[in-house]
Amino acid sequence: MSVRLGLLAASRIADRAVVAPARDVDGVRLMAVAARDRARAEAAAEKWRLDRAFGSYEQLIESPDVDAVYIGTPASFHRPWAIAAIEAGKHVLCEKPFAANADDARLIADAARSSDVVVMEAFHWRYHPYAGQIRSVLDSGALGRIDRIEAVFDIPDGWIPRDDIRWDLSIGGGATMDLGCYPIQWVRFAASEDPSDMPDVVSAEAVCPVEGVDGSLRAELRWPSGVTGSIHSSMIADGDDVAAWLRVTGERGTMLATNPLAPQQGNATLTVETESGSTSEEIERSATYFHQLIAFRDAIVDGAPFPTTADDGVRNMEIIDACYRAAGLEPRPAV
């Protein structure tokens, strides 16, 4: 079986997330792209050498030539189009964050549970072998009892100009939505293999250059086990470098995973320091998106299990909403 995939939105991320890896994944055929403007869809179809261009999202969802859709719209539009696709019997690969807020995410998850289609949140990092290497360190017991888990994803101020949609509150703008959703997943992954083991947000503080939109946000977390942690994300960081890392501190040592987001960039390292010394592992440079698309295909064709389910998307959104409330902000509005 070949999965016939359509792109819902001619988004910037689609090229890297789906178009490029689809060329190398057997059993996935990229068929079409839809945009709210037909000329934009036709231009994207020509650029990506696709057979079909649709001038509306509805046309793509209704097409009998498409088995699955990749939703690359801004987060506030995920819920209506994900549910429409699910109800039309299409499998869904939905960009992160899963929805505008946890309430919207629950609606998607409800629709997914009542269907027989695959609904996957596109947290691509989770499908790379690097995630397995991190898990192996944590499961080895080398760090002893885990005491604290911290994660950061910061990008320099100016990389995202103020007229970018990520500064628009009405369509899901904010550093925690665009960047912070990753550190939240990283710390959850490190804390437990059980995705339902959720931390409480103890406190949070945001800096908002645009009213209601967090340019940066830091939150303190605590798990029921007593493990503490923190997450930080920023679209306005000082300096010229991106910071993306996960650090786990235990009673016998520390693990530092740099750039779990995109090890294909070549600057990922996994270092463990204990009383016995320091060790580092090599990280494979294959693309995270390649592994994600394989997992999506296998879930559809073979019924293979996968971690970034709709229910897990709800859990991540619940923490995002809690971070905003703890910082004195409101969760992002639904459309």
Please say whether the beta carbons of 286 and 264 come within 8 A: yes
**Catalytic position from the list 90, 96, 126, 128:** 96
Tell me if residue 90 is catalytic.
no
Dist CA 218 CA 234 (whole Å) = 9
Terminal-to-terminal C-alpha distance of the chain: 36
Lookup: tokens for 184: 């939240």
Which tokens in the block code for residue 277?
Answer: 């010394």
CA dist., res. 100 & res. 77, Å (int): 8
CA distances from 211 to 100, 155, 162, 232, 264 (A): 17, 20, 12, 19, 35
CA 222, chain centre distance (Å): 22
Contact 71, 78 (CB under 8 A): yes
To the nearest 10°, the Cα dihedral for 331, 216, 97, 37?
A: 90
Beta bridge partners of 205: 218
Spatial separation of the C-alpha atoms in residues 241 and 237, rounded to whole Å = 9
CA distance 249 to 297: 36
CA distance 222 to 148: 9
From the CA atom positions of the chain, what is the Rg in Å? 20
CA–CA dist 233, 88 (Å, integer) = 36
- Give the separation between CA 109 and CA 37, rounded to whole angstroms: 29
Report the alpha-carbon distance of residue 187 to residue 147 in Å, rounded. 12
Amino acid (1-letter code) at residue 133? Q
Residues tagged active-site: 96
